[in-house]
Amino acid sequence: MRTSHFLDHFITEVDTALRTLLPPPKRVSSRPSPAAWIKEADISSQDIKHITGLMRVNHSGEVCAQALYQGQALTAQLSHVKEQMAQAAIEETDHLAWCEERLSELGSKPSVLNPLWYCGSMLLGALAGIAGDKISLGFVVETEKQVSAHLQQHIQRLPRQDEKSRLILEQMQHDEEHHAAVAKEAGATELPYPVKQLMSIVSKLMTKSSYYI
């Protein structure tokens, strides 16, 4: 019976993975984009290229976060932790939708490397869940901390007139910080320094590559 339940859950996660990596023409989100009512500013082609790179990186970051949560939900031991991961994944889906919409407005598409980042992040999440819920939650805290830092850097690097992208990133940052706070309250264990450093290295590799392709 437990094997059947795990198989059902696994099939669901595979379906979610395909939906994440093969987005529809317009992804449905549970919340409207923070920039939905903002008019497009007059932005130079050079700035558009830069903004596109930043938003592509942020989209890849959300793909990684989605995969991490799905991997953790697959192997989490406590039901309330599974529920927490599932709720966080829903909010990450909103972020995916907002980034995809913004990329489309800018005449671009998500990174072609997303399947690679997704598989690696889901494996990491599953291993973290196997290691125990407190360690799994620790990965959430550290992941969201690093994502929030990247978002802050990108907010500062956006052209001043690009209010649409700024509003999206600010709401995403607020959500990520909330996820980290909830994970801490749930009993997250702080990860060892070498693990944090490894996560940071992988994150930098993702940001540098996704900016261009």
Helix (H) / strand (E) element for 136: namely helix 133-157
Question: Do the beta carbons of residue 177 and residue 148 sit within 8 Å?
Answer: yes
Q: According to the model, what pLDDT value does residue 9 have?
A: 63
Give dist(CA 200, CA 202) in Å, integer.
Answer: 5
Q: Domain 43-210 class?
A: mainly alpha
Domain boundaries, given as residue ranges, for the chain: 43-210
Q: Among candidates 19, 17, 105, which has minimal Cα distance to 55?
A: 105
- Mean pLDDT split into 10-residue runs, the chain, 213 residues: 61 70 74 92 94 96 86 73 70 89 94 92 85 85 91 95 97 92 88 88 90 92
Provide the annotated binding site for Fe cation.
62, 92, 95, 144, 176, 179
Give dist(CA 185, CA 81) in Å, integer.
Answer: 12
Q: Kindly state the DSSP code that residue 203 receives in the 8-state scheme.
A: H
Provide the annotated binding site.
62, 92, 95, 144, 176, 179
